[in-house]
A and B are shown apart, each in its own frame.
Chain A
Amino acid sequence: MEIFQIVAIAIVATVLSVLIKHQKPEIGIYISLVTGIVVFIFVVAKLQSVIEILNQLANKINIDDIYLSTILKIVGIAYIAEFGAQVCKDAGEGVIASKIEFAGKVLIMVMAVPILVSLMDLIINMVP
């Protein structure tokens, strides 16, 4: 069970971070960063298989591939932006974190604009 390994790594990293924080606060940031990356690497393989199954499901039913890929890209952007923003917030840089969130929002909106435009097109075409 990977969850035990992940939780163990996270607890060890937290204890280390708390112990070191008083002597060298900057090392605490490195520890949290590395822990985040390690946990992400643990999970990414599983996530990949889930996404592949979702892809197969989408192929079986009559859904255009572009819907699925757009949604998955948006979820990916949200995750990466969240990860970056959390790391910055942990380091005490709330301003940079909010900028990352802003960039994430803009990129999500950029992905959404083509869908919005074609939906508008569709609705306008349907009106007699």
Chain B
Amino acid sequence: MELFREWIVTIISIIIFVTFIEILLPNSNHRRYISVIIGLLIMFVILKPLLGFVKDGASLGEGILAASNQMEQQTLQNRVQQQQFSNNDMVLELYKQELKKQMSGRLEKQLGVLVHDIELDIEDKDQESFGSIKGIYIVLREDEDTVNNSSSGIQEINVNVTISSKNNNNIADESIMIGSRGEAIIDDFSSFYQVSRDNISVAILKSKN
């Protein structure tokens, strides 16, 4: 009988409490959602003594706490995962930039060619070989002095100019590369960076003149 009395008192108090809360609610779209949650809580309070018969006095609050803890944990895990992804991306980008800087320095100082751009293909999925270079695509710029010299030297050969005019301003194929120097670059990069010769390509960007 005491249990029944307590149950009735709890239900009446929660209804008074909810009426009070309804006054406090702002007049917005959120009202509907809050009403739903309040409804759920009232259901909870009404069902609580029945749970006491089924389970020996198990607390519903614990269930709510456990569920909310699980959600918090999931949110935290998602955040950590996102952070790791963005960290990996940043590290990879920085690594690529440093490698490019090193490669263009090597090309310009040791081999004496002008670098237009270097594209790198880096392993980013496999954890064991993470960061290893899969391919290098080097685009060189034609040396202006050489161009001037050659243009003054071969002014009469008009045929060559008309044929090659198609390729002007395009990134030319490896075959156009100045033979021995291109091979030297590929040899040097292949031995220094441990990349297969097939995965290194060198092209030259022709200037307008």
The number of inter-chain residue pairs (CB within 8 angstroms) is 120
- Taken together as a complex, chains A and B put the C-alpha atoms of A20 and B55 apart, in Å, by 66
Instruction: Assess the B47–A101 pair: CB atoms within 8 A.
Output: no
Instruction: Assess the A113–B30 pair: CB atoms within 8 A.
Output: no
Instruction: Assess the A115–B41 pair: CB atoms within 8 A.
Output: yes
A116 nearest CB neighbor, chain B only:
B40
B65 nearest CB neighbor, chain A only:
A66
Instruction: Assess the B17–A108 pair: CB atoms within 8 A.
Output: no
CB of B198 to closest CB in A, whole Å: 51
Q: Is the interface of A mostly helix, strand, loop or mixed?
A: helix
Contact flag A78-B26 (CB < 8 Å), given A62-B10, A126-B47: yes
Contact flag A122-B60 (CB < 8 Å), given A105-B33, A111-B37: yes
Contacts of B65 in A (CB 8 A): 66, 114
A5: interface (CB < 8 Å)? no
Instruction: Assess the B30–A78 pair: CB atoms within 8 A.
Output: yes
**What 0/1 readout, one digit per residue, does chain B (2-14) give for beta carbons within 8 Å of chain A?**
0000100110011
- Taken together as a complex, chains A and B put the C-alpha atoms of A64 and B54 apart, in Å, by 19
Instruction: Assess the B63–A54 pair: CB atoms within 8 A.
Output: no
B157: interface (CB < 8 Å)? no
- Taken together as a complex, chains A and B put the C-alpha atoms of A126 and B48 apart, in Å, by 11
**Chain A interface residue bracket vs B:** 35 or more
Instruction: Assess the B63–A101 pair: CB atoms within 8 A.
Output: no
Contacts of A125 in B (CB 8 A): 51, 54-55
A23: interface (CB < 8 Å)? no
A45: interface (CB < 8 Å)? no
Contact flag A78-B25 (CB < 8 Å), given A63-B13, A67-B45: yes
Instruction: Assess the A71–B30 pair: CB atoms within 8 A.
Output: no
B103: interface (CB < 8 Å)? no
- Taken together as a complex, chains A and B put the C-alpha atoms of A123 and B35 apart, in Å, by 20
CB of A71 to closest CB in B, whole Å: 6
Instruction: Assess the A57–B64 pair: CB atoms within 8 A.
Output: no
A2: interface (CB < 8 Å)? no
- Taken together as a complex, chains A and B put the C-alpha atoms of A61 and B17 apart, in Å, by 11
Contacts of A70 in B (CB 8 A): 37, 41, 64
CB of A19 to closest CB in B, whole Å: 29
Contacts of A78 in B (CB 8 A): 25-26, 28, 30-31, 34
Contacts of A95 in B (CB 8 A): none
Instruction: Assess the B10–A63 pair: CB atoms within 8 A.
Output: yes
CB of B8 to closest CB in A, whole Å: 11
Instruction: Assess the A64–B28 pair: CB atoms within 8 A.
Output: no
Name 9 extra pairs, CB < 8 A, besides A61-B14, A64-B60, A67-B41: A66-B64, A67-B14, A71-B38, A81-B30, A113-B68, A114-B64, A118-B44, A125-B55, A126-B50
The 5 closest A-B pairs by CB, nearest first: A118-B63, A114-B67, A64-B61, A78-B30, A114-B68
